[in-house]
Amino acid sequence: MTDQGTATTSTASSIRGSLTNSGTGGRGVAVVTGASSGIGAASAAALAAAGFSVVLGARRGDRLAEVARRTGGRAFVLDVTDSDSVASLATEVPDVALLVACAGGAYGVDPVAQADAADWSRMYEVNVLGTQRVVRALMPALLTGDGGHVVTIGSTAGHSAYAGGGGYCGAKAALSSLTRALRLELNGRPVRVTEIAPGMVATEEFSLNRYGGDRARADAVYAGVERPLTAGDVAACVVFAAALPSHVDVDLLVVRPVAQADNVTVARHPLRVGE
């Protein structure tokens, strides 16, 4: 925690100086959590290319710094499960146009009756409470000026349960409910609220983490599937929703690869053309 706190102080000073001295991107400041890999890193890159000044938050400072270097963004070592860490970020970004709450993850695939409650707690802590902490801390900044936009990265798992997914489906369902409640609570205020719910996305870490580092089981998730979604595909959805006129709110965007009809109906063969 000491090393992380030192890094956070250093990067916070860098963010403050950069935003003050060089201004922001044409679209304003976008804060992306979970930005050290996967959908978060891809979203940071896509938003930077779209004209946002991007602040990247994640726990792993070394990987975060590399993503920031590639995207031209500003890195902030952030632990969304730590209220002090989130509060420190909020003091450095007084005006936020867009928050992309991407920090999350899945841990374990055990049936409900055999699942480890610690895995479930971890998923709820990161996916749900982590998002709530960041939204609460940054809401004053999102309400500054012409208002802002909150995008949560949910999952189709939050809209339809499947065997072995009780903990993750429950956490993402709670995130979806949080997002819908926030949309209602902000009605009449100039803040858009969007949930993007991807289906099968092949990233370097999601399934590997879920299966406790078992590479064979992680790779089997995507076996035979023609073109699962990539992190870049989901990032394109983030940019799409964010780039619409400020009076247009995409409440929910569900996106799957063509080969996946729902959470359990997946074509594991080349897509056929013709009869």
Find the mean pLDDT for residues 220-236: 96
Token code pair at residue 30: 């976008």
Token code pair at residue 168: 């993750």
Q: ∠ CA 83-59-65 to the nearest 5 degrees?
A: 130
Partners of residue 153 on adjacent β-strands: 196
Q: How crowded is residue 13: how many other Cβ atoms within 10 Å of its Cβ?
A: 11
Q: For the whole model, what pTM was predicted? A: 0.90
Instruction: Classify 66 as helix, strand or coil.
Output: helix
Q: Return the pLDDT at 275.
A: 62
Residue 179 pLDDT grade (very low, low, confident, very high; cuts 50, 70, 90): very high
Residue 8 pLDDT grade (very low, low, confident, very high; cuts 50, 70, 90): very low
Question: CB–CB of 32/56 below 8 Å?
Answer: yes
**Domain ranges, ordered by start, for the chain:** 2-255
Architecture of domain 2-255: 3-Layer(aba) Sandwich (3.40)
- Mean pLDDT, the chain, rounded, equals 91
Alpha helices in the chain (DSSP H): 2-22, 38-49, 61-71, 83-92, 117-124, 130-142, 166-185, 206-210, 215-220, 231-243
- Say if strands 252-255 and 98-101 run parallel, antiparallel, or are unpaired: unpaired
Residue 231 pLDDT grade (very low, low, confident, very high; cuts 50, 70, 90): very high
d(CA 255, CA 200): 9
Q: Give tens-digit pLDDT for 77-95.
A: 999 999 999 999 999 999 9
Does residue 185 surpass a pLDDT of 70? yes
Distance from first CA to last CA of the chain, Å, rounded?
Answer: 60
**DSSP designation for 270:** P
Residue 147 pLDDT grade (very low, low, confident, very high; cuts 50, 70, 90): confident
What is the DSSP annotation of 198-211? Answer: E--B--SSHHHHHT
Q: Return the pLDDT at 25.
A: 62
Q: Which residues contact 65 (CB under 8 A, 6 or more apart)?
A: 75
Does residue 163 surpass a pLDDT of 90? yes
Find the mean pLDDT for residues 232-251: 98
Which residue in the list 107, 124, 162, 168 is annotated as catalytic? 168
Residue 222 designated active-site: no
Does residue 233 surpass a pLDDT of 60? yes
